[in-house]
Structure 1
Amino acid sequence: MRTTLAGIFCAFFLSALPVNAQDSTVVPLERETLGYGRLFTNDFLGDGEDRWRTGSYAMSRIRGYQWDGERPEAFSDLLEFRLRAEILAPDNLVTPAAGDRRYAGALSLGMHTHFQRGQTEMSLGADLVVTGPQTGLGAFQREAHKLLDVDVPTVLGNQIADGFHPGVTYEAGRPFRLSETAMVRPFVEMQVGAEDLVRIGADMIIGRFGQRDLFVRDVSSGQLYSAVRQGDQGTSFVVGGDIAKVDSSIYLPDANGYVLTDSRDRLRAGVHWQGERTGVFYGLTWLGREFEAQNDSQIVGSINLRLNF
């Protein structure tokens, strides 16, 4: 099973590599790769710890007919193929406190469509989340810690079990342009699957870069990463936040006595810089407590480096 998952990961990674740009004046008769996006998130890049929402990597490949700065009206014209890997862990990987969360490795593969109705932007998609030792993420972290000569996790025997969890995510947002270089976008989101939740929030982009890009939302941090670029260069600052009501989570099962917090809160900020061939994003996200026994909030950092040859 691990070999199969590794094969899927490698195949998706190779397919997400950039392709040569085509003449923008010609509307293709078939779908083409319009863009791709990646985001690496880790708490070591934030508060320097190794706990809870400790690390994730998201990768998106966008397929469609064209991109002119707005989502198409047709439901399935613009498709996103998404792959994610995430590790969740207790505060201490060697001697966790009683009641702390269990270790969890999760891989997900999904397809989402991005479209527009009037001025409302929407996305709808399905993901299959694979959990447990079969993902190989726990073994990967153990070997990485050995190599780095840091504490080797001893909690892998008590991780969330092997499983396959299909789910659906829907988001609707309405962008309001304050000027040519400032935009605010409130949104609502609903998820059913690995975690059942309803979320409401908003993001603001200030600056020239990204005003007409297609942004994808990172699942764990909520940070927006560019997946299709319109070509603007420059610097933009992003700020945002949201609050969610979580009904259930496979990572915090009721059977283990976990009590979810009344709300799950996130605050984030970051900066995008895009030059002629190189771009970079760095952001910080404050994550509130997810369950009652969690004794503190945390800060994670996210980074994305874009190189065009």
Structure 2
Amino acid sequence: MRAFALALAVLTCFAQPSQAGDRVTLGFGRLFSNDYLGDNHDRWRTGAYVVSWLRGPAGTDTRGEFGEVLEYRFGAAMITPASLTAPAADDRRYAGILSFGLHSHFTRGALELSTGMDLVLTGPQTGISGFQEEMHKLFGATMPDPAVLANQIPDRVMPTAVVEAAHPFALSPSTTLRPFIEAQAGAETFVRIGGDVLIGAGFTQGLVMRDGTTGMLYQGARGQMGTGLSFLLGADVAHVSHSAYLPASDGHELTDMRARARAGVQYRGERFGAFYGLTWLGEEFEAQPTGQVLGSINIQLNF
């Protein structure tokens, strides 16, 4: 709880009012990802949830100047070995992760920029392992062995900075190619390059943010979007130089490149919207025998 209080205190200091005027809520974004929705396993990057609360000047539905549009981001994730009862000696340890962040989304010429800071918490202090035990008990799933949870990545609080720059290219009135480069330092340190093809007004209008686990783009401020179907295709590759979730002291060797590929479809109606996507995640350490597939969902109800 002390780590949680520290996270809130630091983010409150960052979130002082700017000269942009009084801020209002511009929208909320959220994305839930789990491998039960993908390849139906319970391993490695098994589950994640992100919630974004966007604040900015009234009437804004896209990026402005730096500091005008602020995103308050909460994230939760769990990483597990391939077996929760008898993990291989060279498999990764369990990791429960919570994060609290403040980000700004803005433009510089043709570039769409995002930058921010998260406080990333790991270990039993997050309560993630206890939550997973309760969910597995509720749904009759395999219970984690107490020894697996006792050996999880320990309690830490890690400031983590991230910046992304994207350059959208309109291929047609409803299709955008959006290459990007991203850099992060902290809980994991990497440089990533990739791109997305966005088809339909559901992704080419409003303000989108990137999920850290899957790379999926999800919506915050939705702008004046029409109804109908939208599609997303994307891929990226990262060179990871440090990971607190794969400590060198455990004998892990990080893969030279960490790859992801994703596809999603979104429907938006007058009062109902839904998104479903699949993401292939490549191997993250040399002893990991194969990649995995996560499914992601988001449901929107407008009243």
Q: Secondary structure at the match of 1:113?
A: strand
Match of 1:53 in 2: 45
Match of 1:268 in 2: 262
Match of 2:142 in 1: 151
Match of 1:307 in 2: 301
| Counterpart Cα distance in 2 of 1:67 and 1:118 | 21
AA of the residue aligned to 2:114: S
Aligned length: 289
AA of the residue aligned to 2:108: R
Match of 1:39 in 2: 31
Q: Residues 104-119 of structure 1 correspond to what in structure 2 (within 5 A)? A: 104-119=95-110
Q: Residues 149-188 of structure 1 correspond to what in structure 2 (within 5 A)? A: 149-154=140-145, 155-188=148-181
Q: Residues 39-118 of structure 1 correspond to what in structure 2 (within 5 A)? A: 39-66=31-58, 70-72=62-64, 74-118=65-109
Q: How far 1:208 sits from its partner (Å)?
A: 2.8
Match of 2:229 in 1: 235
The alignment-based identity, stated in percent, is: 52
Aligned equivalent of 2:248, options 229, 245, 254: 254
AA of the residue aligned to 1:228: A
> 1:2·1:134 contact (CA, 8 Å) conserved in 2?
no
| Counterpart Cα distance in 1 of 2:193 and 2:233 | 15
| Counterpart Cα distance in 2 of 1:103 and 1:284 | 23
AA of the residue aligned to 1:126: M
Q: Are the structure 2 counterparts of residues 104 and 78 from structure 1 closer, same or farther at C-alpha, using a change threshold of 3 Å?
A: same
| Counterpart Cα distance in 2 of 1:32 and 1:254 | 45
> 2:233·2:263 contact (CA, 8 Å) conserved in 1?
yes
> 1:174·1:187 contact (CA, 8 Å) conserved in 2?
yes
Match of 1:198 in 2: 191
| Counterpart Cα distance in 2 of 1:299 and 1:221 | 10
Q: Secondary structure at the match of 1:100?
A: coil
Q: How far 1:68 sits from its partner (Å)?
A: 5.1
2:178 counterpart of 1:213:
no
| Counterpart Cα distance in 2 of 1:120 and 1:4 | 34
| Counterpart Cα distance in 2 of 1:59 and 1:288 | 25
> 2:26·2:60 contact (CA, 8 Å) conserved in 1?
no
State TM-score, norm by structure 1. Answer: 0.90
Q: Are the structure 2 counterparts of residues 152 and 3 from structure 1 closer, same or farther at C-alpha, using a change threshold of 3 Å?
A: farther
Q: How far 1:66 sits from its partner (Å)?
A: 4.0
Please list the CA deviations of residues 230-273 of structure 1 after superposition, one character each: whole Å capped at 9, or x if unmatched: 13222111000000000000000011100000000000000011
> 1:210·1:230 contact (CA, 8 Å) conserved in 2?
no
Structure 2 runs not aligned, ≥5 long: 9-19
Q: How far 1:3 sits from its partner (Å)?
A: 10
Structure 1 runs not aligned, ≥5 long: 9-27
State TM-score, norm by structure 2. Answer: 0.92
